[in-house]
């Protein structure tokens, strides 16, 4: 019996927190710092983590919890309020990066780079595209709020499109992960995917009714709801893999979506936040770092990394901008929408991890993906400020079109206020001194 896992965990918690706080001081999201901590502790730099098995086991459950949380944060009730424009923006914003990522991988990827990947080259290249579809708008929204630009047509389009982007991204992920097994025909795969969504819908509806009955019964003792939600998430994730050949993280996300419709959602989400920040998130970032090894950063991979970042930024601007244009947004507004969608977050990393585990992605690409997540997240607020600010210099005519605070913005603010409280919780009153 060794005790290295104690030291490993201590190092992981300390480094992700310290670097996370540092990056936050520089007005960057903590995910960037946590990722850096993972890379620094991993084989690429210090290589100080010794109990890799422990980290892997915890992060297995970790990705499930993180996708479950992501699902809970996607407010599906908002879908109705987003409208057709958001849908077209999201669709173009998924298809163009998917194509761009695929093309880039097609040019660079070869059998010599497929170390650890077992799927066909076509699927591998497609998977790089799928990773690029993910969007994380929380940093964008924070920036827009700061600039007082959230209540603009562009701001609202971004909020709406991000919700739909999540759903479309998860569908793309589900289809491609289901095709990882080369023995299964594509027709069967699609049938199974549809069957899974039907199953999840029915199971979710039954669970929702049961949950609502229970929540009308018990108004104290909230722990049972947290446990019940977690059990539901685990069962759906398990069924996805076992009976439908669908990725478990898809199941976890769908379970989160269903829970987000219940009255207990804010409480449950806050408890999973605690589980996440005390153990699961830091270990997940460490496990990402473990997958990035230095010797693999050949000139070929470095060039690929740089191009991947550029493609990641450009395809979102072009894709979402195109979508906005189609919906009769002005050129300036279209660019604003596009720029608002470029940042990628944890979801891209979770998807990449899953792909690597399924043989859909070579471990060599983990480095480029990490770099892309970091760069798009860091660059998003800067580009956003440029896109919104240029008009003020008197180059164009008039101000950005201000609109009334919409339901979408209101609900986003309510949801985020809960999270902020969590992040910066005050000392509870009446605590023993």
The residues near 18 (Cβ < 8 Å, ≥ 6 apart) are 33, 37
Q: How far apart are CA 357 and CA 337, in angstroms?
A: 34
Kindly state whether residue 17 participates in binding its own copies, applying the rule CB under 8 A: yes
**Between residues 32 and 280, which has the closer beta carbon with respect to its own copies?**
280
Tell me which residues in 263-292 interact with its own copies (CB under 8 A). Answer: 263-267, 270-272, 274-275, 277-279
What is the smallest separation between the CB atom of 404 and its own copies, expressed in angstroms?
Answer: 21
Angle at CA 68, nearest 5°, toward 341 and 117? 75
Q: Taking CB under 8 A as the rule, which mask of x and - marks residues 299-338 in contact with its own copies?
A: ----------------------------------------
Interhelix angle for 346-358 vs 121-133, to 10°?
160
Binding region for its own copies (CB under 8 A) out of 145-153, 196-204, 237-245, 392-400: 237-245
Q: What is the dihedral of CA 161, 163, 166, 168, to 10 degrees?
A: -60
**Between residues 196 and 329, which has the closer beta carbon with respect to its own copies?**
196
Kindly state whether residue 40 participates in binding its own copies, applying the rule CB under 8 A: no
Tell me which residues in 167-206 interact with its own copies (CB under 8 A). Answer: none
Kindly state whether residue 122 participates in binding its own copies, applying the rule CB under 8 A: no
Cα–Cα nearest to 247, from 194, 173, 189, 184: 173
The residues near 65 (Cβ < 8 Å, ≥ 6 apart) are 252, 272, 275, 276, 280
What is the smallest separation between the CB atom of 422 and its own copies, expressed in angstroms?
Answer: 8
Q: What is the dihedral of CA 290, 349, 127, 102, to 10 degrees?
A: -110
**Between residues 151 and 411, which has the closer beta carbon with respect to its own copies?**
411
Among 222, 297, 301, 307, binds its own copies (CB under 8 A): 222
- Under rule CB under 8 A, how many of the chain's residues touch its own copies? 64
Q: What is the dihedral of CA 187, 188, 190, 196, to 10 degrees?
A: 160
**Between residues 358 and 369, which has the closer beta carbon with respect to its own copies?**
358
The residues near 282 (Cβ < 8 Å, ≥ 6 apart) are 12, 13, 16, 17, 34, 37
Binding region for its own copies (CB under 8 A) out of 13-21, 94-102, 167-175, 384-392: 13-21
Q: How many C-beta atoms surround the C-beta of residue 290 within 10 A?
A: 21
**Between residues 399 and 425, which has the closer beta carbon with respect to its own copies?**
425
Q: How far apart are CA 385 and CA 398, in angstroms?
A: 17
Residues of the shown chain interacting with its own copies in the complex, contacts defined by CB under 8 A: 1, 3, 5-7, 9-10, 13-14, 17, 21, 53-54, 57-58, 60-61, 64, 219-224, 226-228, 230-231, 234-235, 237-238, 241-242, 248, 263-267, 270-272, 274-275, 277-279, 357-358, 411, 414-415, 418, 423-428, 431-433
């Amino acid at each position: 019996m060794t005790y290295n896992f104690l030291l490993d965990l201590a190092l992981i918690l300390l480094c992700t927190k310290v670097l996370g706080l540092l990056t936050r001081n520089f007005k960057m999201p903590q995910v960037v710092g946590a990722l850096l901590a993972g890379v620094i502790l991993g084989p690429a730099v210090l290589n100080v983590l010794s109990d890799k098995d422990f980290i892997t086991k915890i992060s297995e459950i970790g990705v499930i919890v993180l996708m479950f949380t992501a699902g809970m944060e996607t407010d599906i009730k908002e879908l109705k309020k987003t409208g057709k424009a958001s849908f077209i923006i999201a669709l173009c914003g998924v298809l163009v990066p998917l194509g761009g990522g695929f093309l880039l991988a097609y040019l660079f990827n070869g059998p010599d780079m497929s170390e650890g990947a077992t799927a066909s080259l076509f699927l591998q290249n497609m998977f790089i595209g799928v990773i690029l579809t993910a969007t994380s708008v929380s940093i964008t929204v924070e920036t827009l709020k700061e600039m007082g630009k959230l209540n603009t047509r562009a701001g609202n389009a971004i909020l709406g499109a991000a919700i739909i982007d999540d759903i479309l991204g998860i569908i793309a992920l589900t289809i491609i992960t289901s095709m990882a097994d080369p023995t299964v025909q594509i027709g069967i795969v699609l049938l199974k995917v549809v069957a899974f969504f039907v199953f999840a819908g029915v199971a979710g509806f039954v669970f929702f009714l049961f949950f609502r009955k229970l929540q009308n019964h018990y108004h104290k003792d909230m722990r049972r709801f947290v446990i019940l939600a977690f059990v539901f998430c685990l069962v759906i994730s398990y069924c996805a893999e076992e009976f439908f050949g669908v990725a478990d993280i898809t199941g976890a996300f769908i379970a989160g979506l269903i829970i987000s419709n219940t009255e207990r959602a804010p409480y449950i989400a806050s408890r999973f936040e605690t589980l996440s920040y005390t153990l699961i998130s830091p270990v997940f970032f460490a496990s990402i770092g473990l997958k990035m090894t230095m010797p693999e950063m050949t000139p070929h991979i470095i060039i690929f990394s740089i191009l991947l970042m550029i493609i990641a930024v450009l395809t979102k601007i072009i894709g979402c901008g195109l979508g906005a244009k189609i919906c009769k947004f002005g050129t300036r507004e279209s660019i604003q929408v596009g720029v608002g969608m470029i940042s990628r977050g944890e979801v891209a990393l979770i998807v990449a991890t899953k792909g690597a585990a399924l043989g859909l992605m070579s471990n060599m690409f983990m480095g480029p993906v990490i770099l892309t997540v970091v760069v798009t997240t860091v660059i998003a607020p800067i580009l956003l400020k440029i896109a919104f600010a240029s008009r003020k210099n008197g180059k164009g005519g008039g101000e950005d079109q201000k609109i009334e605070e919409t339901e979408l913005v209101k609900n986003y603010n309510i949801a985020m206020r809960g999270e902020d409280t969590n992040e910066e919780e005050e000392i509870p009153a009446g605590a023993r001194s």
